[in-house]
Amino acid sequence: MKVFISSDIEGITGVVGGGQSTMAGADYARVRKLMTQDINAAVEGAFLGGATGVVINDGHGAGTNVLIEDLDPRARLISGDQLYLSQMGGIDHTFDVVLFVGHHAMEGTADGVLNHTFLGRTINRLTMNGRPVGEMGINGAIAGHFGVPVGLEAGDDRACAEALSFFPGIETVITKRAVSRTVADSLTPGASHRLIREAAEAAVRKAPLLSPLLVDLPVTFEVEFKSTAETTFATLFPSVKRTGPKGVSVTAPDVVSAFKMLWGVFELGMAGA
């Protein structure tokens, strides 16, 4: 039983502000420890549930957040920037289940802690085949491309609700309840880790019963940027269609190909911004 853990930082136990989740933030060093501890709880639970191997993707920012020296030695870590599949870089058909640790709600989710979709300063809205989607939905669809189901989300209550809307029947751990975008009512790390460990164990045990998220083909992503400048740059690719003053779309035969095109659009959009 091979387990893939896709991690982010905004849903980690105790994280509520941008100053905690950026390298320049005064609290960032402490939050790296909290992130590593939440992941370790999931790793421990995965092995208790029968995992034979665990691979972790450090999926926040530059991908250099997880403290490898403090990581459970049974796990392996994929870290660094510029992964073509972003938070799913490293996934393939050899895995049996994906666990999300620390993921957050999509851009615009009412009061979701630090809610955004990939690029908070750039992206206003994103859809996949017409359905509003955030990072978890896309990550789950990428996993589904390889036949791998999602089994767990550990994050705030809004993120857990979003995960359940895409992956019914998965395990969820509410590490904190959102009060506003930068305020939460959080569990202590000890309480959170116990729940993550138990949920990860349960997710791995029931992995054979879970279904991967499969999307209709071809796959179309439509992006609404936060200004018109991003849109102008994004349409430098002839395959990118402009859908409005701030909108573009990309279409490809499958979700992995479509996401790679989308990532290129993001890069051009950021250059325009």
Query: Could you list the active site residues?
Result: 116
Closest CA to 138 of 88, 173, 179: 88
Neighbours of 210 (CB within 10 A): 20
How far apart are alpha carbons 47 and 135 in whole angstroms?
A: 26
How far apart are alpha carbons 114 and 253 in whole angstroms?
A: 32
DSSP-H helix ranges across the chain = 18-21, 28-48, 135-145, 157-166, 189-205, 228-234, 255-272
Neighbours of 238 (CB within 10 A): 6
- Cβ atoms 58, 64 nearer than 8 A: yes
Q: Phi/psi at 182 (nearest 5 deg)? A: -125, 25
Residues 6+ apart with CB under 8 A from 238: none
Please tell me whether residue 104 adopts helix, strand or coil conformation: coil
How far apart are alpha carbons 152 and 164 in whole angstroms?
A: 9
Q: What is the largest CA-CA distance in the chain?
A: 52
Residues 6+ apart with CB under 8 A from 235: 241, 242, 248
